[in-house]
Amino acid sequence: MAASKRVFAASSAKFHKNIHKRGLVDIKAKEKSKYGFSVGPVMLGFFVFVVIGSSLLQIIRTASAGGPM
């Protein structure tokens, strides 16, 4: 019986410790990146490439079809 009380007390203490830490964010995690973006420069460049490339293809496709812009 004593062992189960000890295990219960340990798990209860661990639970309460986690409850008190809830919502606290490490200071290193809060620091901004040196570029100021939340995504990397490669990912941002890829996104811009896809958006601008698809819009250029749409303009070329519309111009070659002779449809209204």
Q: Would residue 6 count as lying in a domain?
A: no
Domain-embedded: residue 43: yes
12 lies in some domain: no
Asked if residue 64 is part of any domain, the answer here is yes
Asked whether residue 8 is assigned to any structural domain, the reply reads no
Residue 23 lies in a domain: no
Residue ranges making up the domain that contains 45: 39-69
pLDDT at 67: 62
Q: What pLDDT does residue 33 have?
A: 57
- The pTM of this model reads 0.43
Q: Are 62 and 69 in contact (CB under 8 A)?
A: yes
Q: What is the per-residue pLDDT across 6-65, written as a single tens digit (0 to 9) for each?
A: 777 777 777 777 766 666 667 776 666 566 667 788 998 999 999 999 999 999 999 998
* Domain contains 4: no
3-state helix, strand, coil in the chain (%, to 5): 70, 0, 30
Tally of structural domains, the chain: 1
pLDDT of residue 61: 92
Residue 60 domain-assigned? yes
